[in-house]
Every structure is written in structure tokens, then in C-alpha cells.
Amino acid sequence: MITIIILYFIIGLFASILGSIAGLGGGVIIKPVLDLFGHFDLATIGVLSSATVLSMSTVSILSVKNCKIEINKAVSSTIAAGSIVGGIIGKAIFNYLINILAVTDSLAIFQSAFLVVLMLAIVLLINNTNKMSSYKVKNKIIIFVVGLILGLISAFLGIGGGPLNVVVLTILFSMSFKQAAFNSIFIIFFAQLSSLVLVGISTGFNPYDLSMLMYMIIGGLLGGWIGSNAANRISNKLVKRLFNFAIIAIILLNIYNVIVTL
């Protein structure tokens, strides 16, 4: 039991460190790792991931006063509002497929395969931003719709939305990589908070096996603190390298999960 506790603490810790530094959030790492171990069902993994990422993002946001990176509250708040609405829709679709249609195995394969395609697209986009046009979108309706789409995809896949946020903030709002990463954490906080509130209102937390929740949250809090302090000291270039490393690892892990599930 002690070994299992340490394992889940480490998963929460390292996912949160990387998530905090690179704006990934951590959910995109936690989800495929927990799929790999197979100790929990998809719905429980979603709750564990959301709670860990929420704890990480809370610590990261609280350290903003000591950070030199600016949060664009007008843009990020509007995206966050859209992502909350999209998150509710995405979670509702996920719950319908799991609870009504009972297609758990098929959904797990689809999520992993879709994540592979999505992560490949993200890594290609993020490494070719210098060859692409960047914009400064100001229309609040467009920004809200962008947030809604991000929230829907992220909630349905159970990933928190970090990599998607970073790409969108970099291309559509001309943010530097570090600025996009930190603003992504701001958006993730509200998306994960709304996700957990929705679970509490709809099904409650009793149906889920949350035996590892406390240890993952502790890992998330510590990882958020370490990551946010590190992000303030390292270069934009190194943040981008860590982002690329994490995305490639996620792609390989999801490919393995698809092969094993099949």
C-alpha cells in the first residue's frame, strides 16, 4: 500500500511540476499515466486528474505576485468563461457515453487515439509559430467561442486543456511562450474548478474510488509551488523544450495505451 501511495504522489508531483512550468496543467500527463496503470475507471481518473490539476493551478496563481510574467486577464478570463461552458458540455457528453451507452473500452481507445493526433498537431504548430501569422484577437464573442471549444475538447478527453491553451494563446493572441504557459494555468484553474463542481452537483463523489486523491493533491500542491518558482527563473527557450519533451512523451504513452487496449 505504501508503494502505491508513493507512486500516486510522484505522479501528481511530476505532472504538476511540468504542467506548471510549461502551461500543460498536468491533466494531459496524468490521464494517460493512470490509463496505463489501470487501477481506476475513466470517470474516476477524470476526478483524480481534475482535483490534482486544480491544486497545482491554485498554488501557481497564488504565486503570481512574485512572478514577472503578466496575466492578460481580459483575454484569459473570457477564454476561461467559455471553457467553463464548453467543459460542462464536454463532461455531459462523456457522462452520457459512459453511463448511458456504456462504451467504456471504446471510449478509452478513442480518447488515446485522439490525443495522439491532437498532440502531434500541437507539437507541429508550436514549433512552427515563427513561420505562421500571429494575431491579437480582441472580439470577445470570438474569444468566448474559442474558450468554449477548448473547454469542450478538454473536458471530453479529461486532459485539462493545457497544450491546447498554449497553442491558441501563442497564435491567436501573440503571447510569448512563457506568457502563454502562465495564462494557460489561469484558464485551467477555472475549467477544473467548474468540472469538479459539476461532478459534485450531478453524481456526487461517492461513486468514485478516491483512495489516492489526498496523495495526488499533495503532489499537485508541491508540484505547483516548485514549477511556478522554476518558471520564473528559466528562459522562454527552456520552457518550450520542456513543453516539447512532455508532448512527445504523451504521444508515445498514448500510442502504447491504444496498442495494449486493442
> Tens of pLDDT along 71-117?
777 888 898 899 889 888 888 888 888 878 777 778 888 888 888 89
Q: Identify the weakest region by mean pLDDT among 3-7, 223-227, 258-262.
A: 258-262
Segment 187-210 shows an average pLDDT of 87
Segment 218-245 shows an average pLDDT of 87
Query: Domain ranges in the chain?
Result: 2-261
Is the torsion defined by CA of 198, 116, 13, 5 positive or negative? positive
Q: Identify the weakest region by mean pLDDT among 101-105, 226-230, 255-259.
A: 101-105
- Tell me the whole-structure pTM to 2 decimals: 0.86
Degrees to nearest 5, angle at CA 92 with 106 and 142: 110
Residue 150 · residue 168 · CB < 8 Å: yes
Residue 231 scores a pLDDT above 90: no
pLDDT of 74: 84
pLDDT bucket at 16, cuts 50 / 70 / 90: very high
Residue indicated by cell numbers 464573442:
141
Residue 259 · residue 145 · CB < 8 Å: no
Give the cell for residue 201: 452537483
